[in-house]
Structure 1
Amino acid sequence: MKRRDALKAILGVFTTPYILQASQRRLQLFGWRRDAHSLQSFIKRHQYPFISQQDADIRGTGKGKKAYLHLALERATGRAFVPHNQGAPDCVSHASALAVDLLNAVQIITRREPYRWVAPTATEPIYGGSRVEIGHYTDGDGSTGHWAAEWLASYGVLLRKRYPGYDFSEYSADLALKLGQEGCPDSLEPVAKLHPVKKTAICTSYEQLCDCIYNGYPVMVCSDVGFGNGHCRRDREGFLRRRAWPWPHAMVFGAYDDEYKRPGALCFNSWGCFDEQTEILTDQGWKLFKDLDQTEKVASLNKNHELEYQSPTCYHRYQFNGHLWHHKSRDIDFAVTPNHKLYYSARGSNDWKFARADELHKCVKFKKNAKNTNKDVKWHYVGGVKVDMDLWLEFLGYWLSEGHAIKKQAYFKGAKNGKQRVVGVSQLKKESRKKMW
């Protein structure tokens, strides 16, 4: 896509440096960094850093109206809108990339610019470029909204496609972390500069947000304000309450409704989810996702494919209006949002990696086991009786697949009151019965 002129528009950055006080508690790093010093430097370097200094032509135009920029994105791409799903502390790059895609789609569909949709914006170069080239930051993780805005304006964007030496066609959290230390590849910087976002500005009010979105300009929100408590339940009108504890994160406002009795804006996040009928393994046993109560640790795989139980950093629950990606086989059965990343390998391969559910083809397999790190156990005790563990496990295999346990009338010696509990395994084949006996 020719973006030299397509992106000559305002990309709003909604930030709250003058409202929120820095928390003294240690924050969970979701990917946004608070850096008041560099923000002040950003403001001083720009002649008109605020929307209020640039919005004379659009001021007040969004009041009492509504707009949904993601509908333009659906028309441009020809597919249902699916939010991003980050796999690293790179939320700023996901918010930035989605904002650019929304902006570009509006100019193609609404303003009928003579361009065509080619591919989404790649997040990894934004993450690396904003941190290294702009922020000169390589310690820890995360980025800031103003670093990303300056990267988009001073450099630009790359697409989800192959470039010489680099493949951005699929999102890679590992590549994002790598570029977060090295920056955007030098060889690709001239390519990115062909497609800049010409103007960025800081949005500081709901009224400005309405004006921006109504006129086709998405607004990033970069702050430590989170939404939802407990399981993040929405109220009957679809709103989430503000959290009591900080949530350092970047998201995108891409729609708003100022006509309704309760005005509000739609915030696009960068996380995916399972449905309420899918279970997850915890240190308290299998639980439905909807039944998680924040007291458990959940099963995960470390880099060596060993089983570990970890405490989730956050719980999220929200309404989803769309088609879920459902996979059912003899071994697994789950449903996820299309943007949820799954750990998979091609059949016949042991090259395991992550990909969005809606980008997987049919010939894949999912990881269903973990490397056994437990010590070998020789004996098992049942009612005080010492049993060889291998024999016990073999019996359990028979019983779990073909066995039963009932209380029935008994006529053998030792039965109390003529009744006894009976454990049995049904086998029709004679050779199987002999082997078991």
Structure 2
Amino acid sequence: MTDHGFDPAARLRDREANDLRRDLAPAERVAARSRIATDPQNEPPTFDGDELSIFAANNYLGLADHERVQAAATEAAREVGTGAGASRLVTGDTPAHRALERELAETRRTERALAFSSGYAANVGTIAALNPDVIFSDELNHASIVDGCRLAGAETVVYDHCDPADLRRKMGERNRSGSVEESWLVVTDSVFSMDGDVAPLSAICDAVEEFGAWLMVDEAHATGLYTAGGGVVQREGLSDRVHVQLGTLSKALASQGGYVAGSQPLVEHLVNAARSFVFSTGLAPPAAGAAREALRVARESDRRDRLWSNVERLREGLEATGFEVWGDTQILPVIVGDRSATMALDECLREHGVLAPGIRPPTVPEGTSRIRVAPMATHTDEEIDRCLDAFRTAGRELDLV
């Protein structure tokens, strides 16, 4: 009999053979230190052994266990409920959502903001709802942007990473060959999650404006870390030149969800046309409450300064040890090159009490395997020193430095 089914076990074996198999590793808590369990499959995780210093989280400001943020989540659950209960177009639109969106819009210096159930949903929903004829996308944009381009069904032109000259050249080529009535959308991350570098947004704005296109910037890894809790767009003073500002609530804002900020007509259009918003239950009110309070803490406290101080100490120490460190943000890619050596360093760091993940192809290009180090504002001087000591010891044991 013909078999039209699937064989997940065979697919897993193929991944194993190609050294691409991943496993879950539950953390006991979200903090600068935690115990990590091996993948328990369908059993409860068992946490034993010592705590590890966590240099792997996107909880950049260390707000996931902040008492004000936790209290805000509790209050939203008590006042509104633990879940939105429906799409926000039905009964799932609550005061918690609207309060969060008002403060996001104020921070992003836009007319309005809209919260989605995740940053991924915000990206795919927004790009598809804009329905551009042509999308110009940075070659290292996040997977959610790539999938948004696919869902939009638009012709996608990939330009060289962080290269506004190549963007301008490709827009010029399209301008000569395409229809004058085409709608164009340029999409870029502001901070790139694997290389830790920053898009040259001012120069990209210049190119976009030259051709009358629209610009969408994903601030997932920048939200909350710059001017008054904003992102790179705010740091560079470009709020009035970026048509669509997008980000996540699950990294520096220590919650869950995503958002889009822009003009009133843009947001109203998304409310009606973004399928990942229209046909999805609204963001859980406790997540909205937590994100709103985290944004306030980010704007009012010295946590951003403490984060950047930790970043500087780590970068200087890693480079002094002999490691090559890319980027210029809170994401510190320690380049090893060989994938086997990278995963050996990952394991050796764990043995010395530090969790910092090895990243290998296909996530990054062949020959650029790396350890992705992500410090938090809540890491103490002792924990930074522990991380540097672990890298020194592991690097020498593996003959990498």
Bucket of the pairwise TM-score, normalised by the shorter protein = under 0.3
Instruction: Identify the structure with bigger relative contact order (alpha carbons < 8 Å, sequence gap 6+).
Output: 2
The structure whose residues are more often strand, as a share, is 1
The TM-score, its normalising length taken from structure 2, stands at: 0.23
TM-score, scaled relative to structure 1? 0.22
